[in-house]
Amino acid sequence: MSHDGQLIFADHVGRFYARQYGFPPMAGRLLGYLFVCDPPQQTIDELGEALLASRSAITGAVKLLESYRMARRTRGAGERVDRVSLDPVSQQPQNFDSAIHKEHAALFREGLALLADAPPDRRAPLAEMVALADFLSERLPALRDEWHAHRDELQASGKLPR
């Protein structure tokens, strides 16, 4: 893939993550670039040069991606610089954590309690959020298990690298 192609892909990922998840564009661009760069571990300076960005912009993006466990820094023995790469944990299904949705349900129930005497139409948005959070907390563990089985089948058939 050409460097121009890598930058175009990084820009597309940056715009998607900005629009869908509210990421700063540089964090999304960095994430996209980490998926396609070669070598897959890059220094802050290499990333800044490749993405035409300042060292501080890259450092801030790395910190954000680290907080989401999407990127990580490593330093080899005797090296004086960190190398940034995708965090292997990020490729695991993290959005399947039912505990988050249980917590959401509890928060929304707290709001419903505040509206105990309110008319049904006033309570409806919170009641629906409780129902959705309960549904997700119940269904996501099974969906995660289905994904693992499907991924294992893809790997066994050679359609997905191990």
Structure tokens at 76: 């080899």
- Taking the CA of residue 23 as centre, how many other CA atoms within 13 Å lie in the half-sphere pointing to its CB? 28
Q: Is the CB of residue 117 less than 8 Å from the CB of residue 145?
A: no
The C-alpha torsion from 115 through 117 and 122 to 127, rounded to 10°, is 60
Identify the pLDDT of residue 38: 93
Identify the pLDDT of residue 94: 65
Q: Residue 24: beta bridge partners?
A: none
Identify the pLDDT of residue 88: 80
Rounded to 5°, the CA angle 147-150-152 comes to: 110
What are the tens digits of pLDDT across the range 24-41?
A: 999 999 999 999 999 999
The span from the CA of 84 to the CA of 63, in Å, is: 10
Q: If you average pLDDT over every residue of the chain, what do you get?
A: 92
What are the tens digits of pLDDT across the range 60-92?
A: 999 999 999 999 999 988 889 999 999 887 766
Q: Is the CB of residue 112 less than 8 Å from the CB of residue 130?
A: yes
Averaged pLDDT, 107-124: 94
The span from the CA of 88 to the CA of 95, in Å, is: 15
* Model confidence at 59: pLDDT above 70: yes
* 3-state DSSP assignment of residue 73: strand
Q: How confident is the model at residue 1 (pLDDT cuts 50, 70, 90)?
A: low
* Model confidence at 140: pLDDT above 80: yes
* Model confidence at 106: pLDDT above 70: yes
Q: Return the percent helix, strand and coil in the chain, to nearest 5.
A: 70, 5, 25
Q: Is the CB of residue 33 less than 8 Å from the CB of residue 10?
A: yes
* Model confidence at 152: pLDDT above 70: yes
Q: How confident is the model at residue 142 (pLDDT cuts 50, 70, 90)?
A: very high
Q: How confident is the model at residue 50 (pLDDT cuts 50, 70, 90)?
A: very high
Rounded to 5°, the CA angle 23-25-30 comes to: 95
Phi, psi of 73 (to 5 degrees): -110, 140
Identify the pLDDT of residue 97: 82
